[in-house]
Amino acid sequence: MKILVLFLMLFIWPNSLTIYNDLDINTIFEPENTKIYSFEEIPIEIKLPNTVSILKDEINDKSEVLFSLLFLDKNKYWGYIQVWNINDLHKFLSKSKETSQYNFFQYKKQFIKIDKFEGFYIQWEAEVNGTKIIWGDEYFMMNPNGEVLRVSLFTDKDFLAEQLQVINKLFFSNIKFGRMYKGDR
């Protein structure tokens, strides 16, 4: 199932969409432009732009990935909001990069702390399958229980690559994750 979702995410969905160069990152999270999603099995509330379609991944073995939501925006970016069970985040991310099939041109990982979250912010650019260039902007933020909130955005459009950081910061700031936050931020 995960291979099918990854295939759809990287090759089918992005190529079948209309490109909207007029993305206004200042208004995509205005209340009239968003929808709030919540899920019973995990205490998370996600506010997403109306331009986003979501696909919740059904996970049978929750030993590592506890929750996974794939989203696709009509403006040609896509990504994941996930909750992982990881003991050593730094080691996990290093091993993931080492074993990746992506050819990274640029990879920048920095430790960050936001409120009660501690983790890593990663920006990268890579070649996929020898031809396609993908830009990534990712947060991996851990709570003391070892649960990691992953918020990742990707694009294959260079006009969006520079905006990914701003868009992802907005995504991250519009997520409430119950195990990391007691009440509102």
Domain boundaries, the chain: 2-177
Give the pLDDT band of residue 73 (cuts 50, 70, 90): confident
Give the pLDDT band of residue 45 (cuts 50, 70, 90): confident
CB 123 within 8 A of CB 104: no
DSSP for residue 18: P
CB 174 within 8 A of CB 185: no
Average pLDDT over residues 84-111: 94
Average pLDDT over residues 61-69: 90
Give the pLDDT band of residue 90 (cuts 50, 70, 90): very high
Domain 2-177 has CATH 3.40.50.720: no
Partners of 108 in the β-ladder: 123
Q: Does the pLDDT at position 152 exceed 70?
A: yes
> What's this model's pTM, rounded to 2 decimal places?
0.77
Structure tokens belonging to residue 81: 């909001």
- Alpha carbon 141 to chain centroid, angstroms: 11
Q: Which residue has the higher pLDDT, 7 or 157?
A: 157
- What average pLDDT does the chain have? 78
